[in-house]
Chains A and B, each alone.
Chain A
């Protein structure tokens, strides 16, 4: 019966992904697969990543071939127990239809929304159900909401998921409400008010984590829980080579080595990723803005403030996730997490652990958020 057949489908990584190319199968037909086993590598024009098993099972059929480019949700393979006959699997494959381009197609509602906060235009994405306590994703220094491409839709299956471009970042206006964590946290609070959110789970990466921690200290009522990902604000050091390299590089050739510091596997830095970063950095005012922000928060390779260390004894549940090979903020800072926090250090990941170990990260975050 078809109920015992589990399809493996082309994932949707990020709001703009339409299709992916099968780079390689990582397991053979007949292999027993546990949840989280990487099954195959998929490449998009932005990034490549492993598709992992959604459920345990036996890989019975590779439907997609290596080198093939297929739309999101296309059938890639079939998991089923031995008692399911080949004929049933054939019938399942024959009957499988790729769901039509979903609600985020060209005719659907906009991928991104805009709201004005303090006269500053902010881009954000909101996905998932209308009700429930939303999860707000805060990217890091020089990043944008696209940093959460593997995470936003996964979270949106369980709760409203919102990601914004912080002021001066992504496609939000090139202007800052201030360069201190308190000013940035205040801005995030006013952003939440502007989109009618009274309380949210905060997920902050790097500088975004420090902003989240600051907000939890300043306005605890707004914060249902806190997830700090390779976060600033838990220790002193930060790699000045990365910060300066990122801020000052104007060309692809100069920028690439800086961006490679973000990943445990530098080959993840694609041409498209660098192009997107350069497009942002070339905007009038961005370099000066990043210089001002880094001078305020990260001068001389030291973090000016550590709000994460002030969370001790506060009533907010904290999850701390780190990539063991982080070359921007050392994973050793995870030990400064407040008592009672859940701490996970993921191997094989650098500063962008939510991208590099997306599936583990998503499970950790789901458990953290759903426990509340």
Chain B
């Protein structure tokens, strides 16, 4: 039965259902229980934004509060995965990946390849991504391109509670390391989610809105900005198609190419910085594989090539807006007409 819950609740429910279903699922992170050893309610906090609240009461010591050392507990999670557990490690902010990056890109991502396909590393690393939270340069980055670059990692970044639950369950059941990126400004976003467990396959983009004049390809928070642009453009008779990639690795280029073949115009939207980001990747692949379908230049709408500003005014300007996306659609549609 479907009911409306927030993305935060969807994450909690996915973890709860998988911990119930599979005893090898464990959860590690900073303050995810609430501060072991302290007085009072042991389950008080549930992580920096309370995502795991209530799970300790149900699943006990399969949730572990760790020391403030990402390199230690992410390494522990990867080691446990290599030994048959299905750990979910929670990193407060993806910006903290730096200190545990060796464990991820040079260990977890390589095991399957270096051990002749015999080693599996079914680890999930959840982390908050994105700007708009007034948390400044070191807690606001959209680092999805860094992980997408590395073979052996799967990268997920959902835009709705429904996708979040299905993709997180899929991530936990998947036998490869998964970087699960949760946009902090979507935690409160509500949508219909079935109570029962379900999975959404990796590498299948979602067509959020159908249209014939231009394709907008994006993921995460900016899916909603693209929807805002679509409403504005529809009033002017421009029907855009919005493709939500959902997973960046593997990447569903078939759906992107089909859409571009239909519309002839492409706008790639990415909250990540513009150099070597997902928008640049999609653009390059479309030019290579569907050049003949393009009726105008591909447009890219990304955050600027600068750290996320602390000034709230500047931070609001940093994330691609519906107006910027709408303007980009009009630019490609107008190409050659003036």
Residues of B whose CB lies within 8 Å of any CB of A are 1-2, 162, 166, 194, 196-201, 204, 207, 210, 254-255
Contact = CB atoms under 8 A, between A and B. Distances in A.
Contacts of A336: none
A282 B200 contact: yes
Given A283-B196, A284-B196, A171 B2 contact: yes
Interface stretch (A195-203, A246-254, A306-314): A246-254
A174 interface: yes
Contact of A271 (B1, B200, B207): B207
A169 interface: no
A282 B255 CA distance: 19
Interface string A261-284: 000000000010000000100111
A230 to B, nearest CB: 28
14 contacts: A114-B1, A123-B1, A171-B1, A171-B2, A174-B196, A271-B207, A271-B210, A279-B194, A282-B166, A282-B200, A283-B194, A283-B198, A284-B196, A284-B199
Interface of A: 114, 123, 171, 174, 250-253, 271, 279, 282-284
B325 to A, nearest CB: 21
B179 to A, nearest CB: 22
A320 B166 CA distance: 41
A282 B198 CA distance: 5
Contacts of B162: 279
Given A123-B1, A171-B1, A271-B210, A284 B204 contact: no
A253 B197 CA distance: 23
A271 B243 CA distance: 13
Contact of B201 (A171, A251, A283, A284): A251
8 closest Cβ pairs, A-B complex: A282-B198, A284-B197, A283-B198, A283-B196, A251-B204, A171-B1, A250-B201, A271-B210
Contacts of A251: 201, 204
Nearest to B1: A171
Contacts of B196: 174, 283-284
Contacts of B166: 282
A283 B2 CA distance: 12
B48 to A, nearest CB: 30
B309 to A, nearest CB: 38
A249 to B, nearest CB: 11
A248 to B, nearest CB: 13
B254 A253 contact: yes
B134 to A, nearest CB: 34
Given A279-B194, A283-B197, A284-B197, A252 B2 contact: no
Contacts of B1: 114, 123, 171
Contacts of B200: 282
Among B196, B197, B199, B210, chain A packs the most CB atoms within 10 A around the CB of: B196
A172 B207 CA distance: 27
A143 B55 CA distance: 35
Nearest to A253: B254
A14 B196 CA distance: 24
A283 B254 CA distance: 24
Nearest to A173: B196
B204 A252 contact: yes
B204 to A, nearest CB: 5
B13 to A, nearest CB: 13
A168 to B, nearest CB: 12
A148 to B, nearest CB: 19
Nearest to A278: B200
B152 to A, nearest CB: 23
**Which of B166, B198, B201 has the most chain A CB within a 10 Å cutoff?**
B198
Given A123-B1, A171-B1, A279 B198 contact: yes
Given A282-B200, A284-B199, 16 more contacts: A114-B1, A171-B1, A171-B2, A171-B194, A174-B196, A250-B201, A251-B201, A253-B254, A253-B255, A271-B207, A279-B162, A279-B194, A283-B194, A283-B196, A284-B196, A284-B198
Nearest to A114: B1
Contacts of B255: 253
A144 B255 CA distance: 28
A150 B162 CA distance: 27
Contacts of A253: 254-255
A279 B204 CA distance: 13
Nearest to A250: B201
A328 B100 CA distance: 55
Nearest to B21: A284
Nearest to A174: B196
B266 to A, nearest CB: 19
Nearest to A274: B207
A174 B197 CA distance: 11
Nearest to A171: B1
A252 B197 CA distance: 19
Contacts of B207: 252, 271
